[in-house]
Amino acid sequence: MSFAFYSPAPRRADEAHRQSIVDASRVFEHADDPELQRLVDEAATACNAPVAAVSIVDNDRQWFIVRHGVDARETPRAVSFCAHTQLGDHVFTVPNATADARFSGNPLVTGPLSIRFYAGAPLIARDGTGIGALCVIDSQPRLSLTTDQERKLTELADAVMSRITEFSHASGSSRA
């Protein structure tokens, strides 16, 4: 796979620790959870976006645990917008992916999904480690989300992370 026309997100220095939090979360056992689905649907509505998802970034892939408006369940981590999002602690926005050198040649932009606009709120574990994102996507460029939409996306991401923490507590782990 060539990375000449897009930039994969860098890996964290504590990547092994981050992956252990993902593993301990047991979120993969709860794919298509109705409460997570409700939160994703609410994000799509609040942000007026045709596509929304809870994305968990693991060693090699990003997994769409729940989705709205898209059938894909995973993509390679190298092309993941959410891998960029989970590195920060605020909403990460790409107003027009075709005009952004980090993403313009990305197959999620040039291929059938045709991502133009992306906004993601990081899913942050209790220790401050990002494990994924609650994202909204559009095939049309946008300047940004409104302040209210950005606030709502962040609140919903916090609710998603609370739900994921419930999964790990139910299994006896408390790392998420």
Residue 25 lies in a domain: yes
User: For residue 7, is it within any domain?
Assistant: no
Q: What is the DSSP string of 137-166?
A: EESS--S---HHHHHHHHHHHHHHHHHHHH
Q: Helix, strand, or coil here: 107?
A: helix
With respect to residue 56, please indicate whether it lies within any of the assigned structural domains. yes
Reply yes or no on whether the pLDDT at 1 is more than 90. no
| pLDDT for position 173 | 55
By DSSP bridging, strand 74-76 and strand 92-94 are unpaired
In sign, the C-alpha dihedral spanning 70, 53, 61, 73 is negative
Q: Would you say residue 175 has pLDDT above 90?
A: no
- Residue 117: is its pLDDT beyond 90? yes
Residue 135 is given by DSSP the state E
CA–CA separation, 165 and 28 (whole Å): 13
pTM exceeding 0.85: yes
- pLDDT at residue 39 tops 80: yes
pLDDT at 174 over 70: no
pLDDT at 4: 41
The range of the structural domain enclosing residue 133 comes to 15-170
pLDDT per position as a tens digit, 7-33: 899 998 899 999 999 999 989 998 889
The residues pairing with 67 across neighbouring beta strands, listed in sequence order, are 53
CATH classification of the domain holding 90: 3.30.450.40
Count of domains for the chain: 1
Tens-place pLDDT, residues 62-86: 999 999 999 999 999 999 999 999 9
Q: What is the pLDDT of residue 89?
A: 95
What is the arithmetic mean of pLDDT over 101-116?
A: 94
pLDDT at 3 (0 to 100): 43
pLDDT tens readout for residues 130-170 = 999 999 999 999 999 999 999 999 999 999 999 999 987 77
Evaluate whether residue 100 is within a structural domain: yes
Q: Alpha-carbon distance 44 to 84, whole Å? A: 20
Indicate whether 120 pLDDT > 70: yes
The mean pLDDT of 25-48, rounded to a whole number, is 95
**Domain presence at residue 99:** yes
* Domain membership flag for residue 42: yes
Asked if residue 4 is part of any domain, the answer here is no
Mean pLDDT value across residues 119-134: 97
Question: Which pairs from 170-176 meet CB under 8 Å and 24+ separation?
Answer: 170/26, 171/26, 173/24, 173/25, 173/26, 175/20, 175/21, 175/24, 175/25, 175/125, 176/21, 176/24, 176/25, 176/27, 176/125, 176/126, 176/131
**Rg of the Cα trace of the chain?**
15
Among the listed residues 121, 167, 175, 129, the one whose alpha carbon sits nearest the alpha carbon of residue 28 = 167
Least confident among 27-36, 39-48, 92-101, 147-156: 27-36
Exposure string over 17-36, b if 16+ CB within 10 A, otherwise e: ebbebbbbbbbeebeebeeb
Is residue 73, in this structure, part of any structural domain at all? Answer: yes
- Tell me if residue 58 falls in helix, strand or coil: coil
